[in-house]
């Protein structure tokens, strides 16, 4: 029995700092699984352990006192983290109408709570929403359609532009609304066909995705992937990017042909496409979901290979462009492309003369979030990025928006860049399609 008691004490000593760390960081995206019931369980466990230690008389020794104090920390740290989150949330929700209308259109957010995202939509604190698996888990697609329609009704009643509504339907392993939507094969499966067949099938895939997304109220698809397929698996620990399975081909011409046809099919249905992940993640070995990553390839080589599909599809479509979180070292070694003015303004806007919508990859990814996220937000806006995406953990919106709010109040945001970005969003394909989709949903609800 004494041996078991000693083992139990050792485990309590080892677990105490881990539980305290989890409590202090309860709002971190990596601890998303602990939200809600998990936090309550952590709190209850800490209180129960303190009670048990006191009952066993551990308070009588110095070591026992230290152990009791350690297990008292989690509730205190959790309360402090919750208070910090609520204060930040209060500050964001308390933003003035001018601040909201200036900054809000540049944010797209994933959500779990309809009432919460409805409040953000009504106050013009967001310009778009992102829907994914958890929005349909245990529910019907009709429920999601009604939710999106309700959000668009709220925007209409508030006299605001309709929301851009995005989803991730690439085909293959990434089809976050399939099922219940149709599970379409990856575009990479078309590479063995003749060019005419490639285009016909790719257009068909685009039309399938577009029709089904439009019926739900989604007006922007975060597809297709234009990164070149790496010749070998890039990293055995890459469990999330999986670009080898998502990329179309290693040949830029094949990627351009198939992607262009897919985008044509998608746009025929009134749904916008998003080309991703410029400047390309096929060559990097690090997973930006968790770590910073460098793309060290010379620009001339990228222009002759990896960037050809991006330029080709952009020149023949109204697609948005998603910029990833890799650092293009030959252009800007100090920051990821997603918030680099040298990349966004210097290459995409000035060199390519692309004046469409540029958006970031998810800012909750480790390459950004685990570094200086506030610096990244301010720099992205000042670089001319139009939409900042907070997808995986929508609750982080309050932190990300607070960064922009603070930057605005301190005069660190480029007003000219914000105005130019607002003009791009207003005249762009995305808002036009959002208006059309909103009207279609409204008519469907009335019938």
Catalytic residues: 289, 361
Cis peptide before 42 (omega within 30 of 0): no
Return d(Cα 184, Cα 171) in angstroms, integer.
Answer: 5
Euclidean distance between CA atoms 315 and 408, whole angstroms? 34
Show the tokens assigned to 397.
């919106």
396 touches 355 (CB < 8 A): no
* Sequence-ordered alpha helix ranges (H) in 158-289: 195-216, 243-246, 252-268
Task: Quickly count: other Cβ atoms within 10 Å of residue 10's Cβ.
Answer: 10
CB 369, CB 293: distance < 8 Å? no
Measured distance CA(196)–CA(191) in Å, rounded:
11
Contact 401, 99 (CB under 8 A): no
- 204 contacts 255 by C-beta, under 8 angstroms: no
Give the Å distances, CA to CA, from 343 to 71, 222, 226, 252, 378: 48, 21, 17, 21, 15
């Amino acid at each position: 029995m004494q041996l078991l008691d000693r083992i139990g004490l050792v485990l309590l000593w080892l677990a105490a700092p881990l539980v305290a760390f989890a409590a202090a960081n309860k709002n971190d995206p990596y601890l998303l699984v602990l939200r809600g019931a998990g936090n309550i369980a952590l709190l209850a466990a800490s209180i129960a352990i303190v009670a048990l230690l006191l009952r066993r008389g551990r308070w009588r020794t110095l070591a026992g006192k230290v152990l009791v104090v350690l297990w008292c920390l989690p509730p205190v740290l959790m309360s402090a983290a919750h208070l910090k989150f609520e204060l930040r949330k209060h500050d964001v929700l308390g933003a003035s109408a001018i601040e909201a209308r200036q900054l809000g259109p540049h944010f797209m957010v994933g959500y779990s709570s309809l009432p919460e995202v409805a409040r953000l939509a009504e106050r013009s604190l967001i310009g778009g929403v992102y829907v994914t698996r958890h929005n349909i888990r245990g529910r019907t697609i009709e429920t999601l359609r009604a939710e999106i329609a309700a959000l668009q009704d709220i925007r209409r009643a508030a006299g605001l532009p309709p929301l851009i509504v995005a989803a991730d339907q690439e085909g293959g392993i990434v089809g976050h609304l399939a099922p219940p939507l149709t599970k379409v094969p990856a575009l990479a499966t078309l590479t063995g066909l003749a060019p005419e067949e490639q285009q016909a099938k790719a257009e068909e895939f685009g039309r399938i995705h577009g029709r089904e997304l439009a019926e739900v109220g989604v007006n922007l698809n975060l597809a297709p992937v234009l990164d070149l397929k790496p010749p070998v698996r890039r990293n055995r620990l890459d469990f999330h990017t999986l670009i080898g399975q998502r990329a179309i081909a290693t040949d830029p011409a094949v990627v351009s042909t198939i992607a262009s046809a897919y985008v044509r099919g998608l746009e025929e249905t009134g749904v916008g496409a998003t080309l991703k992940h410029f400047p390309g993640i096929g060559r990097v070995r690090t997973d930006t979901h968790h770590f910073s990553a460098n793309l060290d390839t010379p620009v001339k080589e990228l222009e002759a290979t990896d960037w050809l599909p991006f330029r080709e599809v952009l020149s023949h479509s109204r697609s948005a462009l998603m910029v990833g979180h890799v650092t293009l070292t030959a252009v800007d070694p100090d920051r990821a492309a997603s918030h680099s003015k040298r990349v966004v303004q210097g290459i995409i806007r000035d060199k390519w003369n692309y004046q469409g919508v540029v958006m970031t990859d998810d800012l909750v990814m480790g390459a950004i979030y685990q570094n200086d996220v506030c610096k990244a937000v301010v720099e992205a806006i000042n670089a001319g990025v139009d939409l900042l995406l907070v997808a995986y953990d929508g609750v982080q919106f309050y932190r990300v928006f607070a960064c922009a709010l603070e930057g605005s109040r301190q005069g660190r945001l480029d007003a000219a860049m914000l105005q130019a970005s607002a003009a791009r969003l207003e005249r762009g394909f995305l808002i036009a399609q959002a208006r059309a989709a909103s009207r279609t949903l409204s008519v469907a609800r009335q019938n």
